[in-house]
Amino acid sequence: MSEHWDEPKEEDGLTLGPEEALQREIQKSKTLKVDRLRLRDEIEKLKAEKNHLAEKNQQLKERLTKLRAPDPEKATPFPRNTLVFALLSGFLALLWLMTRN
């Protein structure tokens, strides 16, 4: 029944006692918990930034769509036709006045 138990060793070759080994494991556990909490905070910040950027991207897409879409007032040919009609009428009126004199 005499089993030989190997003590955990440090990097420098020293053998740790049970209390030191437990303290070391507790410190590792604390460090991992702190890292995990820091990573959670970082993930939350990145998610918030992602949502903000997605909203901004959507707003820019809507703005771009509005800029590309033709304006209903400009799309109708009425003002252009009116201008052509006015110029043609003016030219005919001038021609009529010139031939009258």
3 within a domain of the structure (yes/no): no
pLDDT, tens only, 17-69: 888 889 999 999 999 999 999 999 999 999 999 999 999 999 999 999 988 88
90 within a domain of the structure (yes/no): yes
Domain count, the chain: 2
Q: Are residues 20 and 56 in the same domain?
A: yes
30 within a domain of the structure (yes/no): yes
Q: How many Å is the maximal CA-CA distance in the chain?
A: 138
9 within a domain of the structure (yes/no): no
Question: Is the pTM value of this prediction over 0.75?
Answer: no
From the CA atom positions of the chain, what is the Rg in Å?
42
Domain that holds residue 25: 14-69
Decide if 16 contacts 24 (C-beta within 8 A): yes
Q: Are residues 56 and 30 in the same domain?
A: yes
Decide if 8 contacts 16 (C-beta within 8 A): yes
42 within a domain of the structure (yes/no): yes
